[in-house]
Structure formats: structure tokens, C-alpha cells
Amino acid sequence: MEDMILMVPEEQMVPALDVALRSTPSRWWATHKDNPESWEKVQRALRHYFNQPPEYQVIDIPGAVEDRLS
């Protein structure tokens, strides 16, 4: 949570948290569970929505947050 405070402007913190809490797998499942065609398709959909694509993985670079704030 401390990292989020440094990256998100104060006026956007509550909307950002709201988005994060609404994007949970359980909420997705509650919306999509009525019509699963097969377990394989459910697994594929969950991986699509909740796995971070490799090209967007976050790499911890010392000083990166400080550079963005200055």
C-alpha cells in the first residue's frame, strides 16, 4: 500500500482503490459463472483476466519511483 501512495496522486487514490477492489476474481466469477461451457474455457478466461502479460511485468528498479516524482 505504501508503494501505491507514492505512485497515485492523492485525488485519485480512492477511485484507484475502488477499481482494484472491484477487479477481483471472485467478483468476475460471480458475473460469469452462469454460463461456463467447459472448465478449460473458464481457466483460459481467468488466466486472460488475472495474469499479468509478460511484456508488462513490473521490475523493481531502485530509484524509479523517486525519478517519477521529481
Torsion angle of C-alpha atoms 28, 34, 37, 41, degrees rounded to 10: 10
State the Cα–Cα distance between residues 39 and 64, nearest whole angstrom: 41
Per-residue model confidence (pLDDT) at position 30: 73
State the Cα–Cα distance between residues 25 and 59, nearest whole angstrom: 24
Angle (CA) 17 23 26, round 5°? 125
pLDDT surpassing 60 at residue 1: no
Q: Which residues of 14-32 are buried (b: 16+ CB within 10 A; e: fewer)?
A: eeeeeeeeeeeeeeeeeee
Q: Render pLDDT for 14-54 as a digit per residue (tens, 0 to 9).
A: 777 777 766 666 777 777 677 667 778 777 776 666 655 55
